[in-house]
Structure 1
């Protein structure tokens, strides 16, 4: 079974850019990181295999074709179990920490209650990560040193794209467990597209994305069970020319969810997602989607 990578050997995050950006798309993979700090593994009550089950494993690879199609791809190398950049910066559970949180921390969000705040309490919807409280200073250091630089890099990509093309489309890339929580055999649709119920991007963009994926043979749902997280909600401003769309891919399409190894479905899915990226880029870049009008 795969083991975590050493965080000391990798930068916290990376931007993969084409020689020249030719489409107003930006791709983001915030949860595919597998570079675990040794101190984090030592502080966890979980073994090095179990702790990986919250990763969106290989999602950065699934969407790597975006670069060849002329769009940049940002990926986190640190894992979401250590720091989740798809949360508000200070969604923190006070019960997890030794010491007082800042007064401005959001301690009552639904995500905090579920154990999945900016500093997660659990992995894979049930496994407690820590066996003792964390120092508040450690949590704030992760936010200052990693969360904020990551979001600055993402903001820079979006702003540069909008400045160049007059608009920007952020595609936030994720994967999801194949079975619904607590239900064996209740498989989810192949792909869930989230647009915060029509508020984070133009509806015609969501329509186009769903149409392309459906024609490729995938079952597609909108906003259920995932409508989009903090990134989609925070950056999606269609009336200002920035559209954000979240895509969740069912993991059994491309990996063994027990061993975390890619399966025979991995390459065909990569090929289909390359077609998806190309068609979406063509539609946006050619003006088939009048997304610029949303900003007027």
Structure 2
């Protein structure tokens, strides 16, 4: 598909869209000029997710991915700026701090309201227009479509959560964004010796899951937040010299097999049931 050069859309025909809003590392020079550290601005990316899910197209899934860094715009935040987790630490639509709370911008260089609006129009809206368009396209083919929002995060970030995050963190906004059968099927696919999981724990689904998940209208959305240790080494603390580490085949292989089962469960769910609408 044609579109901005930072937006990747790989179309498939299966009733599944895989969104990747945080895998990007591209930062326009005019924005990078105001940052404290380009490395710090990229540190919280969802590293190697596009490689970990490289089998998605083989399953017939549609993949929508932005290569723009989440520091420029977080495509999984409410565009109004409202917090998705009131009372808990989080980052903004245009983040001004890292997950650990460090400032991203030099003094007086943080984006103002006009700049946030510009970035929203330039990057947020095209990404979500692509998601909307692909869901609509697949809904003309299938009575049910699943939107699977793919994420990852470092396993230990005390500012955001206590202890080490489970390997697989499934979010459906407490069951509001998809049929219970889909939630159960994805959770079952993630059951494996040596791995941990939680449903609607610290991460219950971001803007993407909550905005598009309309089970009564045939669109079922689910978020998967992976702990990075499941597919890459996690040195502590991460530094410019040691982070990000490469994708580790020994770790990624078993994790990829589990994730393949999760996506297959999404497709099976969508194909097995027919909505009346």
TM class by smaller structure: 0.7 to 0.9
Aligned residue for 2:244?
A: 260
Moved more, 276-285 or 216-225: 276-285
Name the counterpart of 1:230: 207
Give CA deviations for 1:28-57 in whole Å, capped at 9, x if unaligned: 010111112122221101x22222221111
| Residues 163-202 of structure 1 aligned to structure 2 (within 5 Å) | 163-182=140-159, 186-202=163-179
**In 2 relative to 1, CA 145–113 (structure 1 residues): closer, same or farther, beyond 3 Å?**
farther
Structure 1 residue 11 corresponds to structure 2 residue 5? yes
In the alignment, structure 1 residue 80 sits paired with structure 2 residue 70: yes
Q: CA deviation at 1:82?
A: 1.0
Distance 2:213 2:65 in 1: 19
CA 1:117 to 1:67, structure 2 compared with 1: closer, same or farther past 3 Å? same
The CA distance in 1 between the partners of 2:134 and 2:182, in whole Å, is 20
Q: Structure 2 matches for 1:4-43, cutoff 5 A? A: 11-18=5-12, 21=13, 23-43=14-34
1:29·1:74 contact (CA, 8 Å) conserved in 2? yes
Could you tell which deviates more after superposition, 123-132 or 245-254?
Answer: 123-132
More deviation, 161-170/251-260: 251-260
Deviations 1:138-177 (A, max 9, x none): 2211111111111110000111111111121000011122
Asked if 1:278 corresponds to 2:272, the answer is no
* 2:46 is equivalent to residue 71 of structure 1: no
Count of aligned positions: 263
Runs of at least 5 residues in structure 2 that lack an aligned partner in the other structure: none
Partners in 1 of 2:269 and 2:112 — Cα distance?
49
Gaps of 5+ in 1: 1-9, 92-105
Tell me, yes or no, if the aligned pair for 2:152 and 2:225 is still in contact at 8 Å: yes
| Residues in 2 aligned to 1:283 and 1:228: alpha-carbon distance in whole angstroms | 19
Change beyond 3 A, Cα 1:168–1:284? closer
Moved over 6 A (4+): none
Given candidates 91, 100, 115, the residue that maps to 1:116 is 91
Change (3 A) 1:243 1:29: same
Structure 1 contact 199–236 (Cα < 8 Å) conserved: yes
Instruction: Please state whether the residue corresponding to 2:221 is helix, strand or coil.
Output: strand
C-alpha displacement at 1:182, in angstroms? Answer: 4.7
What is the CA–CA distance in structure 2 between the aligned matches of 1:69 and 1:59, rounded to whole Å? 16
Q: TM-score, normalised by structure 1?
A: 0.81
Structure 1 residues 80 and 130 mapped into 2: Cα distance closer, same or farther (>3 Å)?
A: same
- Residues 204-253 of structure 1: CA distance to partner in whole angstroms, max 9, x if unpaired? 10000000110475321011110001111100000111100000111111
TM-score (norm 2): 0.86
**Secondary structure of the equivalent of 2:43?**
helix
Following TM superposition, by how much is the alpha carbon of 1:268 offset from its aligned partner in structure 2, in angstroms? 3.4
